[in-house]
A and B are shown apart, each in its own frame.
Chain A
Amino acid sequence: MATRQTSTLARFMMAPSVILLFIWMIVPLAMTLWFSFQNYNLLNPGNVSFAGLFNYKFFYTDPAFFQSIWNTLVLVVGVLLITVVGGVALALLLDQPMFGQGIVRILVISPFFVMPPVAALVWKNMIMHPGYGVFADIAKFFGAQPVDWFAQYPLFSIIIIVAWQWLPFATLILLTALQSLDGEQKEAAEMDGAGFVSRFIYLTIPHISRAVTVVILIQTIFLLGVYAEILVTTNGGPGYASTNLPFLIYRTALLGYDVGGASAGGIIAVILANIVAFFLMRAVGKNLDK
Chain B
Amino acid sequence: MARAVSTRRKIGFTVAAWVVALLIFFPILYTIITSFKSETEAIAGFSLVPSGTLESYAEVQAQSNYFKFFLNSVIIAVGSTILALVVAVPAAWSMAFSPTKRTKDILMWMLSTKMMPAVAVLVPIYLIFRDANLLDTRIGLTVMLMLINLPIVVWMLYTYFREIPGEILEAARMDGATLWGEIVYVLTPMAVPGIASTMLLNIILAWNEAFWTIRLTTTNAAPLTAFIASFSSPQGLFWAKLSAASTLAIAPILIMGWFSQRQLVRGLTFGAVK
Q: Check A115–B20 contact: CB distance below 8 A.
A: no
Check A137 for interface membership: any CB of B closer than 8 A. Answer: yes
- The proximity string for A residues 175-187 relative to B, scoring 1 for CB distances below 8 Å and 0 otherwise, is 0110010010001
Contact with A along B61-103 (1 / 0, CB 8 A): 0000000000000000000000000011011011100101000
Q: Report the count of interface residues on A (CB-CB < 8 A).
A: 109
A284 contacts which of B24, B28, B111, B243 (Cβ < 8 Å)? Answer: B111
Residues of A within 8 A of B17 (CB): 93-94, 96, 98, 101, 104
B116: A residues at CB distance < 8 A: 25, 29, 270, 273
Partner of B119, one of A20, A233, A250, A285: A250
Q: Which residues of B contact A104 (CB under 8 A)?
A: 17-18, 21
| A90 lies within 8 A of chain B by Cβ | yes
Q: Give the residues in chain A near B217, CB-CB below 8 Å.
A: none
Contact of A227 among B34, B100, B210, B268 (CB under 8 A): B210
Interface SS of chain A: helix, strand, loop or mixed?
helix
Residues from 77 to 131 in A contacting B, C-beta threshold 8 Å: 90, 93-94, 96-101, 103-127, 131
Question: Top 7 closest A-B pairs, CB basis?
Answer: A266-B120, A31-B124, A13-B90, A113-B257, A277-B115, A28-B121, A232-B232
The smallest C-beta distance from A137 to any residue of chain B, in angstroms, reads: 4
Interface: A35 (CB within 8 A)? yes
Q: Is there contact, CB below 8 Å, between A17 and B239?
A: no
**Pairwise interchain contact B90-A225, C-beta atoms closer than 8 A:** no
**B9, B124, B224: which contacts A28 (Cβ < 8 A)?**
B124
- Count, chain B residues at interface, CB 8 A: 100
Report if A262-B25 is in contact (Cβ < 8 Å); known contacts: A17-B150, A98-B10: no
B190 in the interface (beta carbon within 8 A): no
Does B196 reach chain A (CB closer than 8 Å)?
A: no
- Given A18-B106, A121-B232, A228-B229, 4 additional A-B pairs, CB 8 A: A96-B17, A97-B10, A97-B13, A98-B14
* Set of chain A residues within 8 Å of B124, measured between Cβ atoms: 27-28, 31-32, 35, 263
Query: Are B119 and A227 in touch, CB under 8 angstroms?
Result: yes
User: What's the minimum C-beta distance from A253 to chain B, rounded to whole angstroms?
Assistant: 5
A126 near B27 with CB under 8 A, answer yes
User: CB distance B242 to A121 under 8 Å?
Assistant: yes
Q: State which of A56-64, A166-174, A197-205 sits at the interface with chain B.
A: A166-174
CB<8 Å pairs between A and B, sample of 29: A9-B98, A20-B147, A21-B147, A25-B116, A27-B128, A29-B116, A31-B124, A93-B16, A107-B21, A108-B24, A109-B264, A110-B24, A111-B27, A112-B264, A113-B208, A115-B228, A122-B243, A127-B30, A132-B43, A169-B268, A173-B269, A180-B274, A187-B3, A227-B118, A249-B119, A250-B119, A259-B123, A284-B272, A287-B271
Given contacts A107-B21, A111-B28, A249-B119, contact A17 B91 (CB under 8 A): yes
- The reply to whether the CB of B45 lies closer than 8 angstroms to some CB of chain A is yes
Chain B, range 244-269, C-beta contacts under 8 Å to A: 246, 249-250, 253-254, 256-258, 261-262, 264-265, 268-269
The residue of chain B having its C-beta at the shortest distance from the C-beta of A9 within the complex is B94
> A14–B123 Cα gap in the complex (Å)?
30
Q: Which residue of chain A has its CB nearest to the CB of B89?
A: A13
Q: Nearest Cβ distance between residue B111 and chain A, in whole angstroms?
A: 7
Complex CA gap A109/B20 in Å reads 12
